[in-house]
Amino acid sequence: MFENLQDKLQSVFDKLSSRGKLSEADVDVALREVRLALLEADVNFKVVKDFVQRVRERAIGVEVMRSLTPAQQVIKIVHEELIATLGEPARLDLSGPSPHVIMLVGLQGSGKTTMAAKLALSLRKSGQRPLLVAADTYRPAAVTQLEVLGRQLEMPVHSEGTKVAPPQICANAVKHAREAAHSVVLLDTAGRLHINDEMMGELEKVKARTEPQEVLLVVDAMTGQDAVRVADEFNKRVGLTGLILTKVDGDARGGAAISVRAVTGVPIKFLGVGEKTDALEVFHPDRLAGRILGMGDVLSAIEKAQQVMDQDQALKMGQKMVKGEFDLEDFRAQLQQLKKMGPLTQLLDMIPGLSGMTKQLSPDVTDQQLRVIEAIINSMTPEERHFPRIINASRKRRISRGSGTSVQDVNELLSQFRQMQKMMKQFGDVGKHGRGKMRGLLSMFGGL
């Protein structure tokens, strides 16, 4: 989403880094390019003006001019001011007696129904007992869609068809949740234009009858500056407590994410980063700022790994790696865990220094490569996976035929695996006195 903005900002910083001391003129030229990059990324012009002014005031001050690394100081200032523009991190308010009511609102097609399922899954993982409520009685098959998602996730769904008015459905759902001891109620309301007074009035009735603790606006990040106007109007009518940006994994210019918090004053709470029901991230301003500036986001990568990996298994894998006992059977298990973390290019973007690689890589190509590697390993016998050194020429021919690949592909995999084993053993030797941390890192990123 932020690829173009990231490229342009990186170009500006590279030019600054090529200089020794920075003059006021150097800073002005760089900030002019930063201003253009932000405007091209569809960031609100008032937000851009305030942002650049704050950066300039600090960048021409003593902290930069007397610094031994002035270019790095400017980057640090831009990073800090970007975090300030994105706002403080905010979390769901689940305080007080249950059930806690969360009301999802937004335009048609913004992804509310899918987001309701994603939120329900995330809340269940944190120990809550959510109830989904099908309150969209206008869109054809909206009720059915939520019921299907509920069955897939084994999540209860309260629905009363399309004949009952949404405020009544929501009120009945809250009463049912209280009786059935559900801790959270997620109201999936119908999409509506913010200029439709009658439909906005219906939302006000739903809010009055259910008294939600959270009113979350689901915004399609690809709508650009219109997302800011939509958020402002919804906030005036129903009083928003938070925003959820969807389709953040798309190729939108990204300006809405930077603008919407600064203009509306409403915090962003979640990011939808894919179509699957587990593709939901808690919004961290500092991490997003790091991604925009090409610094990566290791913490999110580690959290993704922790969600899909068994901790005991990860520890055992790490022990085998540092001892040099990691075999192709283990490697295959790591690949299967890695696939659960989403597209490989998305994961590489989170690792500092590797984000630039993804510009030359297609998600389809990299994921296809993982499938080829897995097919080759699957065509081996258990003995060959445990002891790759026994794989001779005739075995390679058999493996290549079984996996639909060439002998050259098999040779390449075996060569790379031997190099990885050697590297892991060296890491293990270096980390003999701090092996606990080393094992954790190797178990999470050994597959890479």
For 3-86, the fitting CATH number among 3.30.70.2190, 1.20.120.140, 2.60.120.10, 1.10.3720.10 is: 1.20.120.140
Residue pair 108/230 in contact (Cβ under 8 Å)? The answer is no
Provide φ and ψ at 350, rounded to 5°: -85, -10
What does the block give as tokens for 172? 């009945």
Give the pLDDT of the chain (448 residues) as one tens digit per residue. Answer: 567 777 788 788 777 777 667 778 888 888 898 888 888 888 888 889 999 999 888 888 766 656 556 777 788 888 888 888 888 888 898 988 889 999 999 988 888 999 999 999 999 999 999 999 999 999 878 999 999 999 999 999 999 988 899 999 999 999 999 999 999 999 999 988 777 888 899 999 999 999 999 999 998 877 767 778 888 889 988 999 999 988 877 665 667 777 888 888 888 999 888 888 888 888 888 877 877 776 654 555 555 555 556 666 666 666 666 666 778 888 888 777 777 666 666 666 655 544 554 454 455 446 678 788 889 999 999 999 989 989 999 999 999 999 999 999 999 999 888 887 777 666 555 555 444 444 444 444 444 4
What does the block give as tokens for 201? 């009035």
* Amino acid sitting at position 156: P
Its CATH architecture, for the domain 301-445, is Orthogonal Bundle (1.10)
Say how many CA atoms lie within 13 Å of 425 toward its Cβ: 10
| Bridge partner residues of 248 (DSSP) | none
Say how many CA atoms lie within 13 Å of 146 toward its Cβ: 29
**Gyration radius of the chain over CA positions:** 26
**Domain definitions of the chain by residue range:** 3-86, 100-295, 301-445
Q: What does the buried/exposed string (b/e) look like for 165-184 if buried means 16 or more CB atoms within 10 Å of the residue's CB? A: ebbebbbebbebbeeeebbb
Q: Is 338 left (phi over 0), alpha (psi -120 to 50) or beta?
A: alpha
Which of the 8 DSSP states describes residue 155? -
Number of residues assigned to the chain:
448
Which of the 8 DSSP states describes residue 190? P
Q: What angle do CA 420, 423, 424 make, to 5 degrees?
A: 85
The owner of tokens 């389809």 is: 364
What pTM, to 2 d.p., does this model score?
0.67
Taking domain 100-295, whether its CATH number is 2.40.50.140 is answered by no
What does the block give as tokens for 309? 């990996």
* Cβ neighbourhood burial of 20 (10 Å; 0-12, 13-18, 19+): exposed
